[in-house]
Amino acid sequence: MIVFQDKNMRTFFKNTVCALLVATSSASALAQDNAPRALSPRTLTPPEVSEKVPNVTPLEVKSFSGGIDVQQLGSVSNEALGVLSGSNAFPSDMWKGVNRGLVENLIASLPAQPSSPYLRILQRRLLLTAAQPPKGKSGEKSLLALRVAKLAEMGQTDDVIALIKAAPQEERDNDLAILETEALLTSQKTTQACGNAASNIQSSQDPFWIKTLAFCRMMAKQGDQAMLSLSLLKEMGDTDPVYYSLMDALQLGQRGKVDSLPAPKALDIALINASKAKLNEDIRNTNDPLLLSYLTKAGDIQAVQKAVEYNLVSVDFLAQAFKATKFDATDLDNAIASAEKLEPFKAQALLYQVSSKENQLPAIRAEAISVALNLATKNDKLFSIARLYGPMIADMGRSIDMLWFAPQALRALLASGDWDTAKAWYLLLRNAAFTDQEAARDWTAVRPIAAFAGFDVSTEATSQSLNNWWAAQDETPQSFTMATRLFSISDGLGLEIPDKLWTTLIAGPKLNAGVTPQSGIWIKMNKAAVAGRVGETVLMALHGLGRQKTNQLNATFLRDSLFALRMVGLERDARALAVETALQAGL
């Protein structure tokens, strides 16, 4: 391989590559409607919907495919751009009093895959809010570029495109142009992506544009020109084995193959799609948001429920996957018994087919949903299955005959974000508890989580609910662990815990403290909350909570996180996280 030591020679070859790529056709010719082909076999093709993030609090946060409220804060700062403002957003001065370097570093290092559905919502809101930037010297990348890059890591391609579109054209530097093009490639909007590449390659010598435009040429059946450009790139020292292997497969008309993909890129996904590449089991078992979204949309059943659980894609994909699963008449006629013998995905598919059957008897529907929710809780899939069944449960009639189902209906509706209907089921159970012994027992079990949701928060009611809940527990290490978490959450929400319950915990067994975040995160979060710095408080809470299931975290840190959010006026967000944590813990 030739290695160019001379800077002028390297520049000459870059210019040569760019010239070759732009010489023979316009952007429109490159961007033929020759979109990458889907991974075969494609079994999931739900209609396009305006997807919504689950309404976990009373506040609904929509997916940003349309109806965006673009707030530009006048001409104060182009970095203040956002697509959320007003009641859907954090305050426009949320970075007041915060050091810019701290904000930039912590935004760049936020988790790409927050550990729960509501933390993902909270993180998106932080990144999409229109707010004046913090004071201080900017780093290499603008705050806007850092926000967009993090949304891209999270797999929120619609958010990426929307936020970039909010920026004036003159502010869209090379970083933003690349991020936008990657989002378009990931969304299979190849025509627009190729148009971007043809426009930007004339002003930037970034290898990304050369590679993207070569891909576009290959899709436009101009393989010889594309391969010539790539050979020059290789001679310049560029190494990207997955990209070059898949481009070779496209050139030869062969199916691609990928054995290792540790850090999937947008071009990788576009090429996998275009070449119908075979992916091994390790790759298909990914947790990467971009690849998970692609595999789900491409029909990979293994990825579907994981992507829905992470709230990356619409629950419609899960519904269609379940409907497409084949069963014989015997299984369908004996669904409850058959489900116990099947692996979890097939069991859930069978139960969904039975429960969603048109004109199904309410009792059979409720029983099938009940088994499905129990199975989902056991397999850590409660949030996706709750989102699936939420509309069905909301449409059910609430009567004395359905009291047995009320606790599960309450939990499922809270998990899916329908708190209004969840409260109606709670009130049905509460009213029956005064005359029905079984209803009274169920009411005792769910009263704490109802208090977290704000359904029953008077001091007397909270104290009574916690006392009765503890009285119903066997005194085991597991019950002490649950009580520690429950009372810590309660205290974080400002609910009154009777002294005798604290005394019981103090006298109880020594427990595992849970996962504790770095002390700097904990201390900075508390100090930010005391000072009323909203953005910093949320940022620190996301770092402390977002890398581990919240029910596995140190209970005292969880308490402080809820208290901190409430101190800066985010009461509803604190309650949403409290409910989500209680559901994760199996309360």
- Give pLDDT tens digits for 462-512: 788 888 888 888 888 888 888 888 889 999 999 888 888 888 888 888 878
Please state, in angstroms and rounded to a whole number, the distance separating the CA atoms of residues 214 and 222.
9
- The one-letter amino acid at 467: N
Band of residue 16 on the pLDDT scale cut at 50, 70, 90: very low
Band of residue 298 on the pLDDT scale cut at 50, 70, 90: confident
Main-chain phi, psi angles of 314, to 5 degrees: -65, 145
How confident is the model over 401-456, as pLDDT tens digits?
899 999 999 999 999 999 999 999 999 999 998 898 898 898 888 888 988 998 87
What was the pLDDT predicted at 368? 92
* The three-state (H, E, C) secondary structure of 64-88, written as one string: CCCCCCCECCCCCCHHHCECECHHH
What was the pLDDT predicted at 409? 94
What was the pLDDT predicted at 119? 92
To the nearest whole number, what is the mean pLDDT of the chain?
A: 82
What was the pLDDT predicted at 457? 67
Please state, in angstroms and rounded to a whole number, the distance separating the CA atoms of residues 192 and 173.
17
- The one-letter amino acid at 230: L
Looking at per-residue confidence, does 34 or 260 come out higher? 260
**Do the beta carbons of residue 526 and residue 564 sit within 8 Å?**
yes
**Do the beta carbons of residue 490 and residue 559 sit within 8 Å?**
no
Q: Which two tokens stand for residue 19?
A: 């010239």
Please state, in angstroms and rounded to a whole number, the distance separating the CA atoms of residues 535 and 108.
15
What was the pLDDT predicted at 531? 95
Please state, in angstroms and rounded to a whole number, the distance separating the CA atoms of residues 237 and 565.
50
**Do the beta carbons of residue 215 and residue 267 sit within 8 Å?**
yes
In sequence order, the β-bridge partners of residue 257 are 278
Q: CA-CA distances (angstroms) from residue 381 to 226, 289, 305, 373, 384?
A: 45, 17, 8, 9, 6
The rounded percent of the chain whose pLDDT value lies above 70 is: 86
Please state, in angstroms and rounded to a whole number, the distance separating the CA atoms of residues 468 and 411.
19
Question: What average pLDDT does range 267-292 have in this prediction?
Answer: 89
Q: Is pLDDT of 139 > 90?
A: no
C-alpha dihedral, 15 to 17 to 19 to 23, nearest 10°? 180
| pTM, entire model | 0.81
What was the pLDDT predicted at 419? 92
How confident is the model over 359-384, as pLDDT tens digits?
888 889 999 999 999 999 998 889 99
**Do the beta carbons of residue 74 and residue 311 sit within 8 Å?**
no
What was the pLDDT predicted at 9? 44
Band of residue 34 on the pLDDT scale cut at 50, 70, 90: very low
Q: Is pLDDT of 253 > 90?
A: no
Q: Is pLDDT of 206 > 50?
A: yes
Coil vs helix vs strand at 39? coil
Please state, in angstroms and rounded to a whole number, the distance separating the CA atoms of residues 311 and 148.
19
Closest CA to 453 of 58, 120, 87: 58
Please state, in angstroms and rounded to a whole number, the distance separating the CA atoms of residues 153 and 290.
7
In sequence order, the β-bridge partners of residue 553 are 515
In sequence order, the β-bridge partners of residue 84 are 129
The gap from C-alpha 369 to its chain's centroid, in whole angstroms, comes to 25
